[in-house]
Amino acid sequence: MAQCGYCKGPAGLWSKICKDCKNLLVRVGELRGRVGYGEFLSGLEQTGVSPEKIMVFLKADPDGKGSLQDQVTAEMANELITVMGLGERQTPEDVRRIRKMTKSEPK
């Protein structure tokens, strides 16, 4: 049995992604670029997948392009930057680096 590339759970005999993560990927495709982050998370919860598994899914980076969470955050930041008329762009790597810096900083 193969291991899911996102949640590391069992994916089935011929698949690289488990049923829950496939459903989440479809929902991400439907929501991406159309809703804010809160609505995005609510939309993922509507799949019936547990919140814990959704967070594992969002933090996964199976293709080395940055976690889905960082990709979506970068896309939302870029939309805001464009609306504000600024020229900068955020990448998933930029988002990951900023997230790690803010978590390690003492408050």
In the chain, domain spans? 2-104
Q: At what angle do helices 19-31 and 37-45 cross, to 10 degrees?
A: 150
Give the whole-number percent of the chain exceeding pLDDT 70: 96
- Least reliable range by pLDDT among 7-16, 24-33, 43-52: 7-16
What per-residue confidence (pLDDT) applies to 107? 47
* 8 A C-beta contact, residue 48 and residue 26: no
Residue 93 is encoded by which pair of tokens?
């790597």
d(CA 94, CA 67): 12
Number of neighbouring beta carbons within 10 Å of residue 39:
11
d(CA 56, CA 67): 10
- Predicted structure pTM score: 0.79
* CA end-to-end span of the chain: 45
Average pLDDT for 4-24: 93
Collect all residues with Cβ–Cβ distance below 8 Å to 69 and sequence separation of at least 6. 58, 59
